[in-house]
Amino acid sequence: MVTFKEELNKLIAKHEKSNKRGCHVRAKFIKGSINNFERTMQLMKNTSAEEVLPAVVNKYNYEEQDMYLANTLLEHIRNNLQSYKTPNLKSWADDIRKIRTIDGYTKEIIYGCIVWCQQDSFWHKNILSAGKLREKLPQLLLKIKSENVPDKKKKPSILDQLD
């Protein structure tokens, strides 16, 4: 019985002997493909499934605090909208992780924004996922900050003058 590799070697020999245009290039390509295949097989023999699979299986890289904040967001959303469907909390926790690690916000700031936005008449309708929270967090922080700073441009009222 002839193996696949033996058939390929016969094909290579045939192309190397041929004077037709491009045959030598085809032979080189087949040899390269065989070498790549053999290297891949060797790597597969030396690598266990446990070394390869975790990166594929666990695509979310969140911590416990991220899951806590994701659950907090869900709880606050459900306080406003009881019929809200159950989301993929692992994905939400991963989005919260990104807010912490990539965007650089602390868990306290994230928690404060979650609570504030779900109490605000405008933002509680617009922040219905951790991904949206991440997208709108800079705007939320500006809004929170502007509400906490007294308006210096505001004209003093008559009541202010009485004091």
Mean pLDDT by 10 residues, the chain (163 residues): 69 71 67 72 67 59 93 96 94 95 94 95 95 96 85 52 44
pLDDT at 14: 75
- On whether both 127 and 70 belong to a single domain, the answer is yes
Q: What is the pLDDT of residue 158?
A: 43
Alpha carbon 111 to its chain centroid, in Å, reads: 20
Does residue 86 sit within a domain?
Answer: yes
Contacts of residue 70, defined as CB under 8 A and 6 or more positions apart, other chains included, come to: 62, 89, 92, 93, 95, 96, 130
Residues 50 and 68 in one domain: no
Q: Do residues 93 and 35 share a domain?
A: no
Same domain? For 35 and 80 the reply is: no
- Total domain count, the chain: 2
Q: Give the pLDDT confidence score for residue 110 in this predicted structure.
A: 95
Residue 104 lies in a domain: yes
Give pTM, 2 decimals: 0.59
Alpha helices (H) along the chain:
4-17, 23-46, 49-57, 64-80, 89-101, 107-119, 123-126, 130-148, 158-162
Could you give the C-alpha distances from 112 to 14, 45, 115, 163, in angstroms and in order? Answer: 73, 51, 5, 34
Tell me, yes or no, whether 76 and 141 share the same domain.
yes
- Do 82 and 31 lie in one domain? The reply is no
Q: How many CB atoms lie within 10 A of CB 152?
A: 5
Burial class of 56 by CB neighbour count within 10 A (0 to 12, 13 to 18, 19+): exposed
Instruction: Give the C-alpha separation, 127 to 106, whole Å.
Output: 19
Residues 51 and 71 reside in one and the same domain: no
Domain identity same for 52 and 71: no
Domain residues for the domain of 84 are 64-148
